[in-house]
Amino acid sequence: MSTVRKVAVVGWGAIGRVVGTALAEGRVTGAELVCVVDNRPLGEAAPVRQATFEEAMESCDLVVEAAGQGVVREWGERVLASGTDLLIASTGALTDDELTKRLLAAGPGRVYFTGGAVGGLDLLQAVRTLGPLDEVRLTTTKLPSTLEQPWMDEELLGRMRTATGPVEVMSGTARDVPVKFPKSTNVAASVALAVGDLDAVRVQVVADPAAQHTRHVIEASGGHGSYRFEVAHLPDPVNPATSQVVPYAVLRSLAALAGRTGQIL
């Protein structure tokens, strides 16, 4: 394999544009942007040629998914079977146990996941080897407008739209919440991936009209210790459903895959 990772970015939206532009400008040592995959004609908006998925798999050794859970479901296994590595940003797709098993078993390409808008996942993944965690809770707070979904009834939408303070929108496990909020709760699936159990992670989604920042609070405890991580991010100005930091988390993961020294792994 070449010492320079040849990269395809899938999705030229709020995440893909930042990642692709940084790659095109040479800001990730050891990684080169070869093509962009998107179902819309991009014209001169993309800094490199627009390609099909098939062309990307032929010309690249690493595909970066920044286009949503549907892309992971439709193309994830095919990318890995072609021998191309895959970096997934839309971890919410992993609420499907069967899909997750197939992705982890596929190859010869390797699959990687980015932590996105939350921290502490490396520590949770490390401490789970000491024994199971007794309790893991995630509370996500966002602006009401970013949480509205087609399945919501008028009563819930009304409470969200007229709220003067925090309103609980949904509570459940990391298995069922990301399915209901496919663009807003990838963090829940990422926490479950670190813990190793979708059903062990209790998730609360809160709408707050005063939420200038998107806030994620992870609380976990077990016989070996207790852990609490809290982050508050500005929403992305183009797509407020995601946090501004997410593409930079993808770039950090890319830098590690490209072999940059000094990375915390």
CA distances from 161 to 155, 156, 243 (A): 10, 9, 21
Distance CA 203, CA 138 (A): 5
Structural element, H or E, at residue 173? strand 167-173
Distance CA 73, CA 77 (A): 8
**DSSP type of residue 166:** -
**What torsion do the CA atoms of 63, 64, 70, 75 make, to the nearest 10 degrees?**
10
Q: Which tokens hold the place of 92?
A: 């919410």
Q: Are 224 and 233 spatial neighbours (Cβ–Cβ below 8 Å)?
A: no
Q: Are 59 and 2 spatial neighbours (Cβ–Cβ below 8 Å)?
A: no
Q: How buried is 226 (Cβ within 10 angstroms: 0-12 exposed, 13-18 middle, 19+ buried)?
A: exposed
224 is catalytic: no
Instruction: Exactly one of 213, 216, 224, 233 is catalytic; name it.
Output: 216
As annotated, the active-site residues are 216
